[in-house]
Amino acid sequence: MNANEDQPPVGFADLGIDDRVLRALSDVGYESPSPIQAATIPALMAGRHVVGLAQTGTGKTAAFAVPILSRIELDQQAQKAPQALILAPTRELALQVAEAIGKYAKYLPGLHVLPIYGGSSYGVQLSGLRRGAQVVVGTPGRVIDHLEKKTLDLSRLRFLVLDEADEMLNMGFAEDVEKILAGTPADKQVALFSATMPSQIRRIAQRYLTDAAEITMKAKTVTAANTRQRYLQVANPQKMDALTRILEVEQFEAMIIFVRTKQATEDLAERLRARGFSAAAINGDLVQAQRERTIAQLRSGAVDILVATDVAARGLDVERISHVLNYDIPTDTESYIHRIGRTGRAGRTGEALLFMTHRERHLLSSIERATRQPLTEMALPTVEDVNSTRVAKFADSITASLASPQLGLFRGLVDAYAREHDVPVADVAAALAVLSQDGASFLLTAEPPLAKRKPEGGERSFDRDRSPARVAGQRRAKSDVRLATYRIRVGKRHKVQPGAIVGALANEGGLSRQDFGHIDIKVDHSLVELPADLPRGTLDALSRTRISGQLIELTREEGADRPVRPKKPRRSY
């Protein structure tokens, strides 16, 4: 069945929900169910399996949590063993879901919700499981860990939810998900939610969800209509300068900047802090306590810019986020949709910006087809734009300071200095302004050195320098590159393909496709040719990379170097 806004309006009270849950929904501020909730809740209340095809931000959490809480047992005998398990792809989403369920269960005495996820102490989770939790929300890897340690008992499980199932499979959790499903009671009720329905998820649904109600959340567009989407064509070396100008001129409250690799989050955040912006990085290497502190700083306003990878920002919902900027264009449209879904939520307006090089222009067309919305080319702020903004902010800071209770004190000091040194008061004020700059130039003085092009409509953006001399130099440099053979611990038995190897290594190591040579896939490992002089930071990042959920443990094979880079990766047998 399709869930859309043309259905007759219904209220939560019409769906057979427990009165205590209804009261909690009212406290949260829910007035009427969203289309996905109106279609899903009755099916789950009736005991049916559900397969829901819905995008992030449509209200899925309440759609499965409300019927589970309405039907859960709260007697003393049912206090210990989990009755509901919700699987989520990331710890951020697991925490978000657990927090929401806790709010919906406000008036259910004795009900406990426990999130379990990687990156946090086992001790707290073990204590929670020993005390008893009727609802467990967890990531597949940590759930498997507890099952293997015999610390999580799912023998009395009644409800199982797979939230964002496609993302779990994309992250390599397919085997873990199937193992969990196979180890739970056959009579459990299952709800599966996914933004897309690839064949692997369809197969899981057919195997474990008999006679399931299929609910599709139809929408005119897959991205928020109140999110304006713009792009800027800019060469890679010029991205930082373009970003700085945009941050100075664009009016934003908080921003997420997406990059491809973990290392890039740290590098870009550091460069932004050096330029005076309050920025922080978030990636999979941060311990959970540090991640939570960073997100809390973003919520409170202590940090205005978060530099993140796709996985690290999954499930992140912070009301202050007014802008999302794709510093590195995503290579798949699903990632783009999830990225810009961090803004323009719950009726708020949002801004989505995209940096794109000349060679990446084909990806822009794919994004527009997938979102069914055009992206408007934006103008790079000029030197005059930046200087005008700086002058306006300087004037605003003076206005704000005039209300300071210390104004009288400093007026007296300035007057005394002006009389003693026979200097005009205006010159003293100007000298104080110079002092506040700490040696930095207040105004921009020149355009960046790279060549510019003039797009349609007179708006400007940067293009790559393609002069014959530069191209020839690049070709000479490429011919000097020596390749080395590296061993990774994934092979045919992991059902890995060359594209998955190239994609994973390029994403985590910041490599381009031209950096790859032969890819030879063996039974339990693969041999990949990469540049022999990979930096230590790149090697460290690649050694921590996972493909199909398997840690690859990249190591270099000695004595297998060769001098010439092939034109494209190919597989040999």
Query: Is residue 222 assigned to a domain?
Result: no
Task: Choose among 482, 531, 484, 524: nearest CA to 506.
Answer: 531
Quote the pLDDT of residue 352: 93
Q: What angle do CA 395, 399, 404 make, to 5 degrees?
A: 140
Model confidence at 192, pLDDT cuts 50, 70, 90, reads very high
How far apart CA 573 and CA 571 sit, in angstroms, is: 7
Query: Where is the domain boundary, 347, 365, 380?
Result: 380
Considering the domain architecture, whether residues 277 and 183 belong to the same structural domain is answered as no
Please report, for the domain that includes residue 327, its CATH number: 3.40.50.300
**More confidently predicted of 378 and 559:** 378
Q: What is the pLDDT of residues 292-308, one digit of tens each?
A: 889 889 999 999 999 99
**CA 565: distance to chain centroid?**
34
Considering the domain architecture, whether residues 99 and 237 belong to the same structural domain is answered as no
The dihedral region occupied by 260, where left means phi > 0, alpha psi between -120 and 50, and beta the remainder, is alpha
Quote the pLDDT of residue 272: 93
Quote the pLDDT of residue 76: 60
Residue 449 has pLDDT above 90, yes or no: no
Provide the domain count of the chain.
4
Most confident of the following: 18-32, 60-74, 439-453: 60-74
Residue 181 has pLDDT above 80, yes or no: yes
Q: What is the pLDDT of residues 148-178, one digit of tens each?
A: 999 999 999 999 999 988 888 877 888 889 9
How far apart CA 290 and CA 296 sit, in angstroms, is: 10
Considering the domain architecture, whether residues 368 and 392 belong to the same structural domain is answered as no
Per DSSP, 246 falls in state H
Considering the domain architecture, whether residues 196 and 263 belong to the same structural domain is answered as no
Phi, psi of 261 (to 5 degrees): -120, 160
Quote the pLDDT of residue 318: 84
Query: Is residue 444 assigned to a domain?
Result: no
Residue 137 has pLDDT above 90, yes or no: yes
Q: What's the mean pLDDT in 312-322?
A: 79
The neighbour count for residue 48, using CB atoms within 10 Å, is 17
Quote the pLDDT of residue 305: 96
* Tokens representing residue 2 in the block: 């399709």
How far apart CA 242 and CA 208 sit, in angstroms, is: 50
What is the domain extent for residue 419?
384-435
Please report, for the domain that includes residue 565, its CATH number: 3.30.70.330
Quote the pLDDT of residue 565: 45
Beta strands in 283-340 (DSSP E): 305-308, 321-326
The mean pLDDT value of the chain amounts to 82
Query: Is residue 211 assigned to a domain?
Result: yes
Helix (H) or strand (E) holding 394: helix 383-401
Query: Where is the domain boundary, 347, 363, 380?
Result: 380
Query: Is residue 450 assigned to a domain?
Result: no
Residue 323's DSSP bridge partners are: 255, 351
Quote the pLDDT of residue 456: 37
Model confidence at 493, pLDDT cuts 50, 70, 90, reads confident
**More confidently predicted of 439 and 376:** 376
Model confidence at 572, pLDDT cuts 50, 70, 90, reads very low
Considering the domain architecture, whether residues 348 and 410 belong to the same structural domain is answered as no
Query: Where is the domain boundary, 153, 187, 217?
Result: 217
Q: What's the mean pLDDT in 366-375?
A: 83
Helix (H, G, I), strand (E, B) or coil at 95: helix
Considering the domain architecture, whether residues 232 and 213 belong to the same structural domain is answered as no
Phi, psi of 335 (to 5 degrees): -60, -40
Query: Is residue 425 assigned to a domain?
Result: yes
Query: Is residue 285 assigned to a domain?
Result: yes
Considering the domain architecture, whether residues 268 and 344 belong to the same structural domain is answered as yes
Quote the pLDDT of residue 2: 57
Q: What's the mean pLDDT in 408-422?
A: 90
Considering the domain architecture, whether residues 263 and 406 belong to the same structural domain is answered as no
Q: For residue 369, which amino acid is it?
A: R
Quote the pLDDT of residue 84: 96
On whether the CB atoms of residues 187 and 155 are closer than 8 A, the answer is: no
* Tokens representing residue 549 in the block: 């959920």
The neighbour count for residue 477, using CB atoms within 10 Å, is 9
* Half-sphere exposure (Cβ direction) of 477: Cα atoms closer than 13 Å: 9
Model confidence at 202, pLDDT cuts 50, 70, 90, reads confident
**CA 330: distance to chain centroid?**
11
Task: Choose among 225, 305, 310: nearest CA to 260.
Answer: 310
**pTM: predicted TM-score of the whole model, two decimal places:** 0.48
* Tokens representing residue 493 in the block: 């038995």
On whether the CB atoms of residues 312 and 507 are closer than 8 A, the answer is: no
Percent of the chain with pLDDT over 70: 85
Q: In whole angstroms, how far apart are CA 96 and each of 99, 386, 410? A: 5, 38, 49
Residues 6+ apart with CB under 8 A from 141: 118, 173, 176
Considering the domain architecture, whether residues 296 and 423 belong to the same structural domain is answered as no
Quote the pLDDT of residue 559: 61
Model confidence at 476, pLDDT cuts 50, 70, 90, reads very low
How far apart CA 230 and CA 93 sit, in angstroms, is: 28
Considering the domain architecture, whether residues 286 and 193 belong to the same structural domain is answered as no
Query: Is residue 453 assigned to a domain?
Result: no
Full strand arrangement of the beta sheet holding 135-138:
2-3, 213-217, 50-53, 189-194, 159-162, 84-87, 135-138, 113-116
Considering the domain architecture, whether residues 375 and 394 belong to the same structural domain is answered as no
* Tokens representing residue 10 in the block: 């219904």
Query: Is residue 441 assigned to a domain?
Result: no
Considering the domain architecture, whether residues 205 and 235 belong to the same structural domain is answered as no
Residue 400 has pLDDT above 60, yes or no: yes
Model confidence at 224, pLDDT cuts 50, 70, 90, reads low
